[in-house]
Amino acid sequence: MKPWAQQQMPPSSESDSMQDLVLVSQLLGSQPDLVLHGGGNTSFKGSVRDVFGQERDALFIKGSGISLATIDTDGFAVTDLDMVRQLLTLEDLSDFQMVNELRRALLDVSGPNPSLETILHAFIPHRFVIHTHADAFLAASDTEDGDALLRELFGDAAILVDYRRPGLPLALACVEAWNSQANEQTTVLFLKHHGVFTFGDSAEIAYGRMADVVGELEKKIASSVLDGGADLAGAVVKLPDPDPTEFARFRAEVSDAAGQPMIMTRLAGAEIAGFVSRENLKALTGQGPATPDHVIRTKARPLVGRDVAGFVSEYKDYFDTHSAKQDTRLVMLDPAPRVVLDSEWGLLGIGENYAAAKISSDIYCQTIGTINGAEALGGFRPLGIESQFEIEYWALEQAKLTLAEPARGLTGQIAIVTGAASGIGRACAQALLDDGAAVCGIDLSADVASTFDHPTWLGVQANVTDREQMRSAIAQTVERFGGIDIVVIAAGIFGQSAPIADLPVEDWRKVLSINVDSVFEFFQDLHPVLAVSPVSASVVMIASKNVPAPGKGAAAYSTSKAALVQLSRVAALEWADDGIRINMVHPDAVFDTGLWTPELLAERAQKYGLSIDEYKRRNLLSTEVKAASVGALVLDMCGPGFVATTGSQVPIDGGSDRVI
């Protein structure tokens, strides 16, 4: 039995029903083999007191699109139970009419929109109802003899309902099935190719029934595997590491098909490695997803192999064929794949941002388990392709995708920032993350791994002078996100401050090694990946005011930064043919970095006879230059405002008469 099924629910009472509902929801939501990324729903029937002091029967149900894993009390819609049940007296109700009526039924209009399965929850004559998309059930249902198998396991305790998309038709089909199949032993309702509904007069009972049902299905699959029902894993192998340039070039092809830069993330564990080695992979997966509900995230089929153009052509044919049968005119979605299965690369999830790419990969990772289970039970046979198309182009499912935050400027783009754990590098990484980019931060400090608690942050500890470590960082970035579009070089050291006559040669060489030589090597390894970026790739070099206006005692630093600028100018000339922009910024007196301690600031201010605040503003504009200011400028240079600019050098120093 799975750990979630061993968790004991407390007895329910009227006063703690909502707490019970939250607990059971979170327990179920934490299990990807039960619900995934917003799937499933839960409810209980209770009462609320209105402004007139009257008790109103109410249905408390999960809000549409809200994840069970993280739901709290404010994630449930409170609806007028009688009003919702009255909808069952109608013979017809359009999808948008249903959404409107469910919204009108809200007793708390500040709450979320009710689940699309609210009418069904209202009908089921039990106080608590829980619904999952259990993989084990989908495996059983997605077989030739799924009905017989479910009857064999659950007998008259189960109600079986043919697949319907959520809404009034589903609720009416369940009413008809309930009236003809329900009896005193009824504990579960199966909506074929979709999910499991269990119920009871307490959360504990409904939860226990779900655990029992899923447990029985999992045991059946396990026994079928042991009996030699199928070769589930194929030849289990370890997949090779992808070539970063080849991987990034493939992402560019996908992005071109999608009409925007896409994120592409890779999974390549043992189960996936075995699955993609199947000889019948294309035929097996070409039948469709485990449930039509996944189609808006994965499309009806994955791309098997790397023929993006072929997939696009097939998708257009699929759209033309099925849209011609619709009563209304449909606009084709972008034809790019959302899931790729490749014998060397494994499973790739693709999306317009990292969250969407991860959802695609997570869902198909679970789908692999479902397909394996169905194969063990006699053969994977999902619902027909017409049903997949109906859901993919169903207006209410498309509306779920619009609930995400609007895309920010760099959404879909991927950046590498060196020196990202602190100071200017950290500020640049922050600005890029805030504008929607996925970012790999590289730093010598181990703290880089946790510099940001952000799903699109990858922190890699590496020494910029160690070429193999930096190559590994490039490879990790490409494998996690798909490619590289933006590079910010912020790592560097100032070195010892001393006159040329007194500067140890080893210090001179160390500064040049870190500030120049490492960048030269990094450029060599980055160029092939940047050259295949689906956007106008951008490199921003953090140089220094010491380039146009050097100072005494900083020979190594000033020389290294000047050499770095010259290297960048040459790269701007050479890489322009590949559409790669290279620009430079010259910061000065950025005091909110680790270089400037309070003691050093006080010492320098005293030397000039100024207060610390006056010293920080010792420039023509009398303004303090902060790391965030540099980050904002770097962000601008990576965006559309600099799309026609390369080789530029921009000071950010508050204005220096020596530079001007």
**Catalytic residue list:** 557
Helix (H/G/I), strand (E/B), else coil: 554: strand
Residue 9 structure tokens: 């629910």
What are the φ and ψ backbone dihedral angles of 304, each rounded to 5 degrees? -100, 115
Where do runs of H (alpha helix) occur along 377-466? 385-392, 395-401, 423-434
CB 370 within 8 A of CB 135: yes
- As to burial, measured by CB atoms within 10 angstroms (0-12 exposed, 13-18 middle, 19+ buried), residue 644 is exposed
For 42-58, give the DSSP string: EEEEEEEE-TTS-EEEE
Residues, the chain? 660
Closest CA to 230 of 194, 275, 292: 275
Distance between CA atoms of 484 and 460, rounded to whole angstroms? 15
Distance (Å, whole) CA 568 – CA 574: 10
Whole-angstrom distance, CA of residue 321 vs CA of residue 313? 12
The contacts of residue 278 (CB under 8 Å, 6+ apart) are 234, 284
Report helix, strand or coil for 544: coil
Can you tell me the distance from the alpha carbon of 107 to that of 307, in angstroms, rounded to the nearest whole number? Answer: 52
Residues 467 and 123: their CA atoms lie apart, in Å, by: 65
User: Would you call 568 helix, strand, or coil by DSSP?
Assistant: helix
Separation in Å, CA 381 to CA 92, 113, 144, 291 = 31, 34, 6, 11
Question: Residue 376 — φ and ψ, nearest 5°?
Answer: -65, -30
Q: Which of 264, 543, 305, 269 is nearest to 413 (CA)?
A: 264
- Contact of 411 with 436, CB cutoff 8 Å: yes
Q: What is the dihedral of CA 424, 429, 430, 436, to 10 degrees?
A: 150
Measure CA of the first residue to CA of the last residue in the chain; give whole Å. Answer: 73
Rounded Cα–Cα distance for residues 103 and 506 (Å) = 73
- How many Å apart are CA 580 and CA 237, to the nearest integer? 38
